[in-house]
């Protein structure tokens, strides 16, 4: 597939088919993504591929905590504490597009809660990827990680699979590290749902808009 086409086709999928994804396919995707660049070739990414009973155990514990109002303690702060435009309006628009697609009104708090809880199940995709980083690494490694994650998403498209990268899965690091046996002194960067897209699901029918390049690009000659 043409790289530009893959970039344009990539989207955050939130409904998946309950269809087996072969380990060989996952390994091929990760192998391709491992060619992503990293500063001084540190290749600081660490990946957990979670499925089956292990995934069920993790997501049930996280969702239970969420529904009880027990907020997790993420290893780092992903979003700003105080939002301002243009980021605030883009964030609001992103949420509105999803809820409008599902016909979930602002006052329908239960359905909104249920929809958000789906994050912690990796939207019921059979594969949940979790990404870790040694705490000694500094912000530069987060830049490297972004390139690695994008490479996974593009390689997944080449294999006919869909993805959704999820900061939400990093909100409960204690539960995840305990379940998988990772040490406390490691950063849970994020998660990712991986499987085949349910193309009949309404939630997969919308796309978030992209800004014109003139809004973020300046030429100097």
pLDDT tens-place string over residues 116-164: 999 999 999 999 999 999 999 999 999 999 999 999 999 999 999 999 9
At residue 173, does pLDDT exceed 80?
yes
Cβ burial, residue 200 (10 Å; 0-12/13-18/19+): exposed
| DSSP state for residue 68 in the 8-state scheme | T
Mean pLDDT across the chain: 96
* pLDDT tens string 28-48: 999 999 999 999 999 999 999
Give the model's pLDDT for residue 170: 97
Give the model's pLDDT for residue 35: 98
Superfamily name with CATH number, domain 3-206: NADH Oxidase (3.40.109.10)
pTM given for the model: 0.96
Give the model's pLDDT for residue 92: 94
Give the model's pLDDT for residue 138: 95
Give the model's pLDDT for residue 39: 97
Go through the chain and tell me how many residues it has: 221
Give the model's pLDDT for residue 82: 94
What DSSP string runs through 82-127? S--TTHHHHHHHHHHHHHHHTT--TT-HHHHHHHHHGGGGGGG-SE
Closest-CA residue to 23 (of 56, 59, 47, 58):
47
What is the rounded average pLDDT of the residues 4-26? 96
Give the model's pLDDT for residue 135: 96
- The domain limits of the chain are 3-206
At residue 1, does pLDDT exceed 90?
no
Distance CA 47, CA 11 (A): 21
């Amino acid at each position: 597939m043409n790289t530009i086409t893959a970039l344009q086709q990539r989207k955050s999928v939130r409904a998946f088919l309950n269809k087996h994804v072969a380990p060989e396919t996952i390994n091929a995707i990760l192998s391709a993504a491992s060619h992503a660049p990293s500063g001084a070739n540190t290749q600081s990414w660490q990946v957990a591929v979670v499925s089956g009973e292990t995934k069920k155990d993790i997501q049930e514990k996280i969702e239970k905590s969420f529904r009880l109002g027990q907020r997790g303690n993420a290893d780092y702060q992903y979003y700003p504490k105080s939002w301002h435009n243009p980021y605030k309006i883009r964030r609001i628009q992103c949420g509105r597009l999803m809820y409008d697609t599902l016909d979930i009104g602002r006052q329908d708090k239960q359905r909104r809660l249920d929809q958000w809880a789906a994050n912690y199940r990796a939207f019921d995709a059979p594969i949940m990827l979790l990404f870790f980083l040694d705490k000694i690494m500094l912000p530069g490694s987060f830049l490297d990680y972004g390139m690695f994650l994008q490479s996974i998403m593009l390689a997944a498209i080449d294999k006919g699979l869909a993805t959704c990268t999820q900061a939400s899965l990093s909100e409960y690091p204690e539960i995840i590290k305990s379940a998988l046996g990772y040490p406390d002194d490691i950063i849970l960067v994020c998660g990712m749902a991986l499987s085949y897209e349910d193309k009949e699901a309404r939630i997969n029918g919308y796309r978030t808009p992209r800004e014109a390049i003139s809004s973020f690009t300046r030429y100097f000659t």
